[in-house]
Amino acid sequence: MNQEAEPKRNHQDTVFRMLFSEKESAIELFNALEGADYGPDTEVEFTTLEDAVYTNLKNDLGFIIDKQFIILTEHQAAINNNMPLRQLEYIARTYEKLIDAVALYGSKRVKIPTPEFFVVYTGSQKWKTTTLRLSDSFLNTPPENSIELVVKIIKMHYNSDDEQSQKVLERSEKLRGYSLLLEYIKDYRSQGKDAKDAVNTAIQRCIREGILKDFLEKNSPEVGSMLFKEITSEEFAEIRAKEAAEEYYNKGRDEGIANLIAAYREFDLSDDLILKKLMEKYQIKESDALAYIEKSK
């Protein structure tokens, strides 16, 4: 194993991946996530998927530590309950790259690093669960001879009252700095700054305060561009979620009103009386109530 091999950089990298793509940083991340105490001499081999042929299976960060554990970590700014399924794809491809295919057909048991799966979540939406299970996606209750994969969710918010989150941040200066950078960006956005200005202002503030100073000074333009894309993607996802919820609500309300009008008509209620009842029940304007009545004719 080549412990000096680090993930190649490309235009699709994330700030999280950049931040932990060196050996010392990967050890720090694992120690923080697991509460472990591996030293700087610990062997690390990066296994992050980045082959051009497998662009659909590009993950954020993968590495083997101490030849024993293979760590797959994804950074998420939006809730995604399909992470176990994605991680299953990632670990299968990773083992495929690590294992001699010929050895699989021999009688000797092939030993493999023990996998651990993490999601570092920095989104603003509430994500109540702390673990995601592959079996939650199964159509039926799995039998004994099935498969399970559990992803541990780490909610990384600087001012969070989540005890697990704070313990993780206390164990990693880089995670703590990154979470504070994101907190500054959110604060500036709430003050009315546009996304690009909020990102750049937050970066300069962190540099002044000595937060991720060397990393940000070295990679400031690249980090700014990546954060802008990540922040706008998160905001777009939140907008779409709200739109979908509103669309679902309106569709349900429309069907409810149509059914109610039909029921009133079965009892020979006049349109004037139906109009009054709709306005009272749904707190809608007269023009909207009239539109529902006309549509039902």
At residue 255 the predicted structure's pLDDT band, cuts being 50, 70 and 90, is: confident
Decide if pLDDT at 201 tops 60.
yes
pLDDT of residue 202: 94
pLDDT, one tens digit per residue, over 27-39 is 999 999 999 999 9
Decide if pLDDT at 9 tops 70.
no
Q: Which of 46-50, 174-178, 264-268 has the highest mean pLDDT?
A: 174-178
Nearest-CA neighbor of 257 among 277, 242, 271, 243? Answer: 277
220 or 136: whose pLDDT is higher?
136
At residue 123 the predicted structure's pLDDT band, cuts being 50, 70 and 90, is: confident
Q: Are residues 174 and 262 in the same domain?
A: no
How large is the average pLDDT for residues 282-291? 87
At residue 78 the predicted structure's pLDDT band, cuts being 50, 70 and 90, is: confident
Q: Are residues 171 and 268 in the same domain?
A: no
Q: Are residues 234 and 95 in the same domain?
A: yes
How large is the average pLDDT for residues 246-260? 75
pLDDT, one tens digit per residue, over 55-68 is 456 788 999 999 99
Range of the domain at 259: 248-295
pLDDT of residue 3: 46
Residue 145 included in any domain = yes
5 or 173: whose pLDDT is higher?
173
Residue labelled with tokens 């704070």: 166
pLDDT of residue 249: 66
How many structural domains is the chain composed of? 2
Residue 9 included in any domain = no
Q: Are residues 19 and 52 in the same domain?
A: yes
Work out the mean pLDDT of the chain and round it to a whole number.
85
Q: Are residues 238 and 257 in the same domain?
A: no
How large is the average pLDDT for residues 200-214? 95
pLDDT of residue 4: 47
Residue 5 included in any domain = no
pLDDT of residue 273: 84
